[in-house]
Amino acid sequence: MHMADALLSPAVGGIMTAASAAAVVYSAVKIKKDELGEKKLPVMAVAGAFVFAAQMINFTIPGTGSSGHIGGGILLASMLGGFPALLTIAAVLIIQCLFFADGGLLALGCNIFNMGVIPCLLVYPLIYKPIMKKGYSYKRIMVASIISVVVGLQLGAFAVVLQTLASGITELPFGTFAAMMQPIHLAIGIVEGIITAAVLSFVFRMRPEIIESSVSRAPVTKSASVKSVVIALIVATVVVGGALSWFASANPDGLEWAMIKTAGTAELEAQGGVHEGAANVQGATAFMPDYDYASADEGGSSTGTGVAGIVGGAMTFALAGVAGVLISKAKKKAAKV
């Protein structure tokens, strides 16, 4: 559900960038000094890398000609807590935008808001946590995951419709576009919810303290080792990003599908100096556009997708990890003053 710049006016793009930046700063401030302890920091880094890789896998929605991929907001929030999760998904989306040209630069604020702020700061605390606080079990993880992901994706999809409406994109009239966006993202949300529940159940089985500490916003107990979970997620990231990404569905994703059904095309033309400037910046920074070598022809290269998955995962690991370490140190330093 990555938005392109052509879907937004400069004013809406700027406002949403400011809103998302404020939410990221707010999250960094609200993180407790012991919330990102030595046990959670490696989980934060590797979970971000895993979500980057997992977003490369588009799964087919049968009978629609569409596809979808996980957003990852609820998955990250369930493992890290809402505030660290927003920082992590922001790292994923920033790297995707700048270095892989996935989602527009002008639209980056919208994408962070729709795929990060909504699930991490709204849906997770209001839906997922209340369900999980009633008791931890695989059944409850499944129920909480599916409901939370579906609600988050429905709100995110509707936010896209509102953002295009506010931008004056006449090719996507409100009623028709909403009627296309909501049902297809309901189907995508159900699949993502099941995937999220499966991953969280795996983590819960290996180290339940990770899930429990995220709900309570407490550090993982010193006696609990997260090494096995971190290794498992690293292996999963390499396999998903480096190999399974080759088998991703070629069907248009939910947003593109809805645009085709509404406007007859998934690519609208962006005009104006702001759009051109954003495109030029992105063109200069994206060394693997569309998750392939910049020199690849239209047919694509034989190894580019796999390399992009591994490189992008490593970059996300580094950015999310560094951000977590810096915030953790700042919190501890402030606590001593």
Establish if 278 belongs to a structural domain.
no
Mean pLDDT of 306-334: 94
Establish if 327 belongs to a structural domain.
yes
Establish if 324 belongs to a structural domain.
yes
Q: What is the SS3 assignment for the chain?
A: CCCCHHHCCHHHHHHHHHHHHHHHHHHHHHCCCCCCCCCHHHHHHHHHHHHHHHCCCCEEECCCCEEECCCCHHHHHHHHCHHHHHHHHHHHHHHHHHHHCCCCCCCHHHHHHHHHHHHHHHHHHHHHHHHHCCCCCHHHHHHHHHHHHHHHHHHHHHHHHHHHHHCCCCCCCHHHHHHHHHHHHHHHHHHHHHHHHHHHHHHHHHCHHHHHHHHHCCCCCCCCCCHHHHHHHHHHHHHHHHCHHHHCCCCCEHHHHHHHHHHCCCCCCCCCHHHHHHHHHHHHHCCCHHHCCCCCCCCCCCCHHHHHHHHHHHHHHHHHHHHHHHHHHHHHHHHHC
Tens digit of pLDDT for each residue in 4-33?
A: 999 999 999 999 999 999 999 999 999 988
Mean pLDDT of 77-90: 97
Whether pLDDT at 201 is above 70: yes
Establish if 188 belongs to a structural domain.
yes
pLDDT computed for residue 337 by the predictor: 66
Q: What is the pTM of this model?
A: 0.96
Whether pLDDT at 41 is above 90: yes
Establish if 133 belongs to a structural domain.
yes
pLDDT > 90 in the chain, percent = 85
Establish if 280 belongs to a structural domain.
no
Establish if 176 belongs to a structural domain.
yes
What is the span of the domain harbouring residue 124?
5-273+286-332
Grade residue 227 by pLDDT with cuts at 50, 70 and 90: very high
Which residues, listed in sequence order, are joined to residue 60 by a DSSP beta bridge?
67
Tens digit of pLDDT for each residue in 277-314?
A: 999 999 999 999 999 999 888 778 879 999 999 999 99
Grade residue 58 by pLDDT with cuts at 50, 70 and 90: very high
Establish if 337 belongs to a structural domain.
no
Quote the number of domains for the chain. 1
Whether pLDDT at 336 is above 80: no
Tens digit of pLDDT for each residue in 146-182?
A: 999 999 999 999 999 999 999 999 999 999 999 999 9
Supply the CATH number for residue 97's domain.
Answer: 1.10.1760.20
pLDDT computed for residue 218 by the predictor: 86
Mean pLDDT (the chain) is: 95
